[in-house]
Amino acid sequence: MKKKLLSVLLVASMVATMFVGCGSSSSETASDATASTEEGAADAAASDKKIAMITDSGDITDMSFNQTTYEASKAFAEKNGVDFQYYKPTEDSDDARIASFENAVTDGYNVIIVPGYLFAGMIAQCAADYPNVTIIALDCSQGDFEGAGMTELPENVCSFTYQEELAGYMAGYAAVKEGYKKLGFLGGMAVPAVIRYGFGFVQGCNDAAVELGNASDVEVNYVYGGQFYGDDAITAQMDTWYSNGTEVVFACGGGIYTSACEAATKVDGKVIGVDVDQAGTIENAYGVEGLCITSAMKGLAATVDATLTDLFAGNWSNYAGKIENLGIVSGTDPSLNYVQLPMDTWTMTNFTVDDYKALVAAMNDGTIKVSNSTDAMPSTEIKVTEFDNIH
């Protein structure tokens, strides 16, 4: 899996060549003829595929999970001349998600991409009834499926989860090394992926502070908003944090970053983005350069592109019925990893790109270990203050 994902560009190039067509000649060997036949069959199968993406409780403008999945799916479809459409459920419920799925299938879409744990129930109810529809899920874990009554994935389903604790650790470590001492974590809902981000963030803040010898000076405020979008109540909580000295908040949960950004801009505070590199979109939205100091990313776009590339190349067996957990796959090139900080928009000065590369190498070789437990707040030498859920 790792080797294949790292070679996605090569595979995509091979697929693109295959789509042009395969000729034959009298000088063709038996193996060449067989390869041409197999490629032709893959072409025919691929030509019948149509891609749909269904949003979770957010939408395709959330600058996060939904938007990235939508843009990656759409880009693949356009690049390969495949029909694409997205569907937005009428409400946040299994019934609405099932209705969107069935609408997509009725409209002729037979490759369905769904982002988020909320789709476990839909998959559990629909997958077996539509064996000819391929379902690619992002961030649906084994526990999510079991909670929906599905103990084993059928052959037409695959899912990918991510080691968010590692990305959260990188962000917390970098922020403290950069010089921030008063930090905050604003999570969306307290679901495993968000908790892993948060607990990883706390571990990173703690380890960096211990290394710097200032653990007694570093503090982290910690809260869940109870939803994946900002509102007045969440903004008010962020106003209180920032006015009381919080310097930077890791806003982790879809559109909830808006509340952190609104509060931060009032006092020259900073934020940390999530899932994708949010620096440009946040700064454009709020007109404040340097508002977002970094982002804890996971490779959603790369996952979508790699999986669709293999599917259209006839290699679905690599994924059928599997759940893959993605994280660090290279200790020397952080850009290849499925959890990372963005290097293209790097603005930190005390914690440099070279420092980041050294951190990733240490995480990859096991020198630095990060717990992925979601049972309880990690033990720390820094002060962590947990607040009640806002909603």
Cα 288 from Cα 286, distance rounded (Å): 6
Cα 76 from Cα 84, distance rounded (Å): 9
Spell out the domain ranges in the chain.
2-162+301-326, 164-298+338-386
Residue 167 has, within 13 A of its CA and on its CB side, a CA count of 32
Q: What is the pLDDT of residue 46?
A: 55
Token duo for residue 357: 């590369």
Query: Which residues make beta-bridge pairs with 325?
Result: 161
Q: How would you write 3-30 as a 3-class SS string?
A: HHHHCHHHHHHHHHHHHHCCCCCCCCCH
Separation of CA 367 from chain center: 25
Say which DSSP state 377 is in. Answer: P
- Please name the helix (run of DSSP H) or strand (run of DSSP E) that holds residue 113, with its range, or none: strand 111-115
Cα 51 from Cα 70, distance rounded (Å): 11
- Please name the helix (run of DSSP H) or strand (run of DSSP E) that holds residue 184, with its range, or none: strand 182-187
Are the folds of 2-162+301-326 and 164-298+338-386 the same?
A: yes
- Its pTM stands at 0.83
Nearest to 359 by CA among 349, 369, 371: 369
Decide which of 3.30.2310.20, 2.60.40.10, 3.40.50.2300, 3.30.450.20 is the CATH code for 2-162+301-326.
3.40.50.2300
Q: What is the pLDDT of residue 81?
A: 95
Nearest to 46 by CA among 83, 96, 7, 99: 83
pLDDT (tens, 9 = 90+) of the chain, 391 residues, equals 444 444 443 333 333 333 333 333 333 333 343 344 344 444 544 569 999 999 987 788 877 788 999 999 999 999 999 999 999 999 999 999 999 999 999 999 999 999 989 999 999 999 999 999 999 999 999 999 999 999 999 999 999 999 999 999 999 999 999 999 999 999 999 999 999 999 999 999 999 999 999 999 999 999 999 999 999 999 999 999 999 999 999 999 888 999 999 999 999 999 999 998 999 989 999 999 999 999 999 999 999 999 999 999 999 999 999 999 999 999 999 999 999 999 999 999 999 999 999 999 999 999 999 999 999 999 999 999 999 999 9
> Does the domain spanning 164-298+338-386 belong to CATH 3.10.50.40?
no
Burial 105-131 (b: 16+ CB within 10 A, else e): beeebbbbbbbbbbbbbbbbbbbeebe
How far does the chain reach from its first CA to its final CA, in angstroms? 39
